[in-house]
A and B are shown apart, each in its own frame.
Chain A
Amino acid sequence: MSTLAPNLTRGTKKNKGKYLFLQILKVAILILADAAIGWFLSQLISNGFYPFSIAIFIIAVAVNIILLVKKLFPLRWAVTGLVLMGLFTIYPILFTVWVSFTNYGEGHLVTKQQAMDQILARKYLPEEGAAYEYTAFKSADGDFALWLINPDGDGFLAKPGEPLSQLQEGEAGVGTINADGIPESIEGYKKLSIFEALADQNLPEIQFGTADEAIQIRKEKPGEAAQLVPKYEYDPDMDVVVDLETGVVYQNLRGDFVSSSGQELKPGFSATIGLTNFKRFFTSPALRGPLLRIVTWNFSFAILSLLLNFALGLFIAVLYNEPGFPLKKLIQTLLIIPYTIPALLTILVWRGMLNPEVGVISETLKALFGWAPRWFSDQWWAKVAILLINLWLSYPYFMLVCSGSLQSISHDYYDAAEVDGASGWQRFWHITMPLLLVAVGPLLISSFVFNFNNFNLIYIFNGGNPPIAGSPTPAGHTDILISYVYNLAYAGQEGGMDYGFAAAITIVIFFIVGTITLLQFRFTGMWEEVSENV
């Protein structure tokens, strides 16, 4: 094993000083970084982002250990990469798992504590509260103040956001107090007549005094202001919220406080709801129709794409594989062009060319046959279009891969086969294909996985349209699972953002992809290869 700092072993005084300085600098930077992370963590926790806080904490501890424990110095090389990987690859995967067991989404975005804070902050005016007679004052800026007189005849000045203060004549700008106990003037304010006060639209909405002792004008009883009292009370033993005004009890039903008559208190909060999202995926009758279509098309699309793209790529590779074939390089260069341009751009171009009214392909077909497929509104033609575009996008990849592999197949096999009198077709099926499949097998599988989640193509070409009629959440005939997930999480019109359900479907996709990958490892010996190479 090498040593990290060989210059230390050759320690001249200068080097030693430099080393010490670097060590101190290192520790100082680490302390500063830890302080920053500590602040970041405290902010995250106060916002209620617990899973992310845990992730940050674990990563921070790991980094500290790696940087401080001398034995772990080889890991210091990788520490930046590992942190980035942990944050942006591993944590999102784990967080997806977590979200899939919750109801996180529109209406359930906050924590239970935050939801309760909002609910419990609500006030109402009780029939018999601490009642005052009031007189309204208004400043030049439009700010209001109230002069309140309680049943005992004491006078108070109330301003929004400030505690009530009991004042006598002459204190804090209060002018002469008349026989009714009302000051004639307050400094900076103009006294409003009772009619002016009643006519003012804003006045009844304003809360005077502080949140603990909020005074509001009662619309029902002119001339009276009263103290607001909390509308809801939380009972931690029963985990219920009670409406103090009506007496209705709201039960905690995993994410919402719900009354016996089914009324919900807004906002709901995010809560773990067990396997509900997964049950919905597998058993909801309303979703079954659309989901079954989507899953079927998802598999058909990935398999058909793979077969078509591979077949065309292989066909071209075999056709021009021969050494010394005329114009070979030129043909190959022209044929890989579709692969060299960002797919997003070419998908958009295809969308334009297939435009049913004015696109060149539709136009040409109409001119030739008097008819053109409805590429966007008919589900089957939309599927054909998607397969066609994907063929155009991906055959060059297989062409390149196959021609590379074909060149590496030894000629001895073919010579031997020729001696045995095998036909060209036999040679292809019994020599070329098996050897080729060994070489490109892993690439075929990763291509399948790629197409299984080929979001860009679907989303950009037609957004999964045409829509499936009667689906409870937005879904289209050409949607694949990942684009359906995207609709669930972000489409946001009908179903709203349903992150929990979206995450659950993501987990299902994880399992499909994971199973295929495991099979790949199993049958191609790829894992052994990986294990040898580490």
Chain B
Amino acid sequence: MSNKQKRTQKHASKSLSRKASIGFRLLIALVLIIFAIFPILWVVSASFNPTGSLATQKLIPRNPGLGNYRELMAGEYPFWRWFGNSVYISAISAVGSLAITTVAAYGFSRFRYRGRKTMLKAIFLIQVFPTLLALVATFLMISQIGEVIPALGLGTHAALILIYLGGSMGINIWLMKGYIDTIPRDIDESAMVEGASSWKIFTKLILPLLRPILIVIAIINYIGTYGEFILASLLLKDAQKYTLMVGLQRFAAAQMDQRWGVFAAGALIGGLPIMIIYLILQDQIIGGLTVGAVKG
């Protein structure tokens, strides 16, 4: 057999084995996809299961109906209140955090002074530590503040928002500074020559340039806060003030087995919007995420 023949044979077998390999890999993908989305399908099915209990559920429910959703809406549990709480707490935290950190990051990015590097390094080191660890201390601090100013004490959304804001400062200042650094300083300087103040440069020139990344970071922050559980569960004691995560966890802990369908409906309403945002903005969010740490 000549060398040439050998090569074509090799090619032929290669393309055949490539087809087989693709088929095999698609098969694996199917198995993995089932693993990935089975729990989701199961919840969807549960939410339409008319009997509503864990025991009677089948993957394709007999007589599917909206009974669970109706029960959820009926208001026996303040589900919409929880949902509203989550939406507005996360929104204030995300927007507030971004507003504060963007301003701070601009200062760190554009001005040069002694101690700046040390300070940035310190911020980096501090944000490495998981805030979860200082849980007990944070709780005690809030209860102490509450002794003096009840409106900022345990059980208030204001305290929760402040903690979320405080915890997001380090990483967001770093992220934002990184982005602002990529905007050439020439832009600032030419505006400065024309007599614009730093504040004007920041709001009129830099912010518009940052808009795309600001939106992405806001969404990442929003999703993170929306899904946060432990601080909210520790601080909020009144059922009317629960966030959705705390409310659903308490609901599930109390009567998961009998009211599985109602829980499933609540989980879907609470989880789907986030999932959809994620899937639509996949690439941007992933880009933003891999810069930071792991999702909490």
Q: Is the CB of A78 within 8 A of B104?
A: yes
Instruction: Given A443-B294, A510-B129, verify A77-B103 contact (CB < 8 Å).
Output: yes
Most B C-beta atoms less than 10 A away, residue of A89, A486, A513, A530: A89
Q: Is the CB of B107 within 8 A of A335?
A: no
Please tell me which stretch of B6-14, B38-46, B65-73, B75-83 contacts chain A, meaning at least 4 of its Cβ atoms lie within 8 angstroms of it. Answer: B38-46
User: For the complex, what is the distance from the CA of A96 to the CA of B57, rounded to whole Å?
Assistant: 47
Instruction: Given A342-B245, A460-B249, verify A404-B130 contact (CB < 8 Å).
Output: no
Please tell me which stretch of A167-175, A283-291, A445-453 contacts chain B, meaning at least 4 of its Cβ atoms lie within 8 angstroms of it. Answer: A445-453
User: For the complex, what is the distance from the CA of A89 to the CA of B107, rounded to whole Å?
Assistant: 21
User: For the complex, what is the distance from the CA of A513 to the CA of B110, rounded to whole Å?
Assistant: 33
User: For the complex, what is the distance from the CA of A489 to the CA of B137, rounded to whole Å?
Assistant: 10
B188 → A minimal CB distance (Å): 8
Q: Is the CB of A89 within 8 A of B136?
A: no
Check: B236 CB closer than 8 A to any chain A CB.
no
Please tell me which stretch of A209-217, A225-233, A323-331, A465-473 contacts chain B, meaning at least 4 of its Cβ atoms lie within 8 angstroms of it. Answer: A323-331
Nearest A residue (CB) for B57: A360
Neighbouring A residues of B270 by C-beta, 8 Å: 342, 345
User: For the complex, what is the distance from the CA of A372 to the CA of B186, rounded to whole Å?
Assistant: 67
B interface secondary structure, majority: helix
Q: Is the CB of B36 within 8 A of A503?
A: no
Q: Is the CB of B230 within 8 A of A357?
A: no
Q: Is the CB of B173 within 8 A of A342?
A: no
Neighbouring A residues of B112 by C-beta, 8 Å: 1
Neighbouring A residues of B234 by C-beta, 8 Å: 490
Q: Is the CB of A335 within 8 A of B130?
A: no
Q: Is the CB of B133 within 8 A of A85?
A: no
The proximity string for B residues 192-216 relative to A, scoring 1 for CB distances below 8 Å and 0 otherwise, is 1001111000000000000000000
Q: Would you list which residues of chain A between 263 and 311 have a CB under 8 Å from chain B? A: none
User: For the complex, what is the distance from the CA of A485 to the CA of B293, rounded to whole Å?
Assistant: 23
Check: B126 CB closer than 8 A to any chain A CB.
yes
Q: Is the CB of A449 within 8 A of B130?
A: yes
Nearest A residue (CB) for B46: A352
**Contact partner of A342 among B144, B226, B252, B279, CB < 8 A?**
B226
Instruction: Given A81-B101, A88-B166, verify A348-B248 contact (CB < 8 Å).
Output: yes
Q: Is the CB of A49 within 8 A of B144?
A: yes
Neighbouring B residues of A396 by C-beta, 8 Å: 36
User: For the complex, what is the distance from the CA of A530 to the CA of B166, rounded to whole Å?
Assistant: 22
Check: B162 CB closer than 8 A to any chain A CB.
yes
Q: Is the CB of B37 within 8 A of A6?
A: no
Q: Is the CB of A351 within 8 A of B256?
A: yes
A interface secondary structure, majority: helix
Check: B158 CB closer than 8 A to any chain A CB.
no
Nearest B residue (CB) for A56: B145
User: For the complex, what is the distance from the CA of A234 to the CA of B112, rounded to whole Å?
Assistant: 58
User: For the complex, what is the distance from the CA of A96 to the CA of B295, rounded to whole Å?
Assistant: 25
Most A C-beta atoms less than 10 A away, residue of B120, B126, B128, B278: B128
Q: Is the CB of A343 within 8 A of B230?
A: no
Q: Is the CB of B133 within 8 A of A513?
A: yes
Check: B282 CB closer than 8 A to any chain A CB.
yes
**Contact partner of A335 among B36, B136, B257, B286, CB < 8 A?**
B36
Q: Is the CB of B140 within 8 A of A499?
A: yes
Neighbouring B residues of A534 by C-beta, 8 Å: 116-117, 120-121
Nearest A residue (CB) for B40: A337
The proximity string for B residues 249-267 relative to A, scoring 1 for CB distances below 8 Å and 0 otherwise, is 1001000110010011001
**Contact partner of B167 among A78, A88, A334, A400, CB < 8 A?**
A88
Neighbouring B residues of A89 by C-beta, 8 Å: 126-127, 131, 134, 166-167, 169-170
Most A C-beta atoms less than 10 A away, residue of B59, B116, B134: B134
Most B C-beta atoms less than 10 A away, residue of A91, A350, A396, A456: A456
User: For the complex, what is the distance from the CA of A75 to the CA of B118, rounded to whole Å?
Assistant: 13
Q: Is the CB of A400 within 8 A of B275?
A: no
Neighbouring A residues of B26 by C-beta, 8 Å: 326-327
Q: Is the CB of B133 within 8 A of A482?
A: yes
**Contact partner of B136 among A2, A351, A502, CB < 8 A?**
A502
The proximity string for A residues 497-522 relative to B, scoring 1 for CB distances below 8 Å and 0 otherwise, is 00100110010011001100100000
Neighbouring B residues of A335 by C-beta, 8 Å: 29, 32-33, 36
**Contact partner of A343 among B136, B227, B248, CB < 8 A?**
B227
The proximity string for B residues 30-67 relative to A, scoring 1 for CB distances below 8 Å and 0 otherwise, is 00110111011011001000000111010100000000
**Chain A residues packing against B (C-beta within 8 Å):** 1-2, 4-7, 10, 40, 43-44, 47, 49, 52, 72, 74-78, 80-82, 84-85, 87-93, 95-96, 99, 104, 316, 319-320, 325-327, 331, 333-346, 348-353, 355, 357-360, 392, 394, 396-397, 400-401, 404, 443, 446-447, 449-450, 453, 455-456, 459-460, 482, 485-486, 489-490, 499, 502-503, 506, 509-510, 513-514, 517, 530-531, 533-534
**Chain B residues packing against A (C-beta within 8 Å):** 22, 25-26, 28-29, 32-33, 35-37, 39-40, 42-43, 46, 53-55, 57, 59, 100-101, 103-104, 106-108, 110-113, 116-117, 120-121, 123-124, 126-141, 144-145, 147-149, 162-163, 165-167, 169-170, 173, 178, 181, 188, 192, 195-198, 223, 226-227, 229-230, 234, 245, 248-249, 252, 256-257, 260, 263-264, 267, 270-271, 274-275, 278-279, 282, 286, 289-290, 293-296
- A-B CB contact pairs (8 Å), 27 listed: A1-B113, A5-B197, A6-B195, A6-B196, A7-B195, A43-B147, A43-B148, A44-B144, A49-B147, A92-B138, A333-B279, A340-B275, A342-B270, A344-B227, A344-B248, A348-B248, A348-B252, A353-B42, A358-B257, A360-B42, A450-B293, A453-B130, A453-B133, A455-B230, A485-B135, A510-B129, A513-B130
Q: Which 6 A-B pairs have the closest CB atoms?
A: A88-B166, A77-B107, A342-B227, A92-B134, A74-B111, A340-B278
